[in-house]
Homo-oligomer: A and B are copies of this chain.
């Protein structure tokens, strides 16, 4: 008289499923740390994840899908790390500096992460869209409170993003390993219109960066 609760059944399924899905995402993440996103194949991913080919297609339609999932996970977990500190900062310059600072700290702590983010940023602009938009809004506010320097907020956005991504790339490739975080943020602040003194004042008022978890997989809710 087997009477099994089908709802419970589905639950069990979902758990197992989530585990395997996470394995696949982690595998893709590892591969992106080593090689160009476009050069990764489905076979590479399943081999790295230690699952069968068919399993991949149960979870994702294509490589783009898993790539997007990797990007989303990265954005989401970084965001989670960032938002608590951000909300308490009223001044746009502080928010911008804080965000960049966290970015650099994380990259210094985990060059592998830096590599992956740098590579994905070039390929999956969708993923970082939200972060980009937030930064842009901060920059608009920031610009309004500044004597006009002829640099549009759009250009400032590209400048900040450009500097950050290049630093990520450099750290990911082993260059710049003794990077002075404050120097980098200072340069960035001057680029977007602060003078040396103002930049320094922002830096000293920066709250301690959020603590970072160590390198690898850990945030699977």
Contact = CB atoms under 8 A, between A and B. Distances in A.
A150 to B, nearest CB: 5
Copies in the complex: 2
A88 to B, nearest CB: 27
A117 interface: no
Contacts of A154: 175-176
B191 A149 contact: no
Interface residues of A, number: 40
A195 B167 CA distance: 23
Contacts of A213: none
A111 to B, nearest CB: 14
A19 to B, nearest CB: 31
Interface in A117-168: 122-123, 149-152, 154-156, 158-159, 161-167
A170 B149 contact: no
A124 to B, nearest CB: 12
Contacts of A188: 159, 191
A188 B175 CA distance: 21
Interface string A15-41: 000000000000000000000111100
22 contacts: A36-B123, A37-B38, A38-B38, A122-B122, A150-B183, A151-B180, A151-B186, A151-B187, A155-B180, A155-B184, A155-B187, A158-B166, A158-B170, A158-B175, A159-B187, A162-B163, A162-B166, A162-B167, A166-B166, A187-B191, A187-B193, A188-B191
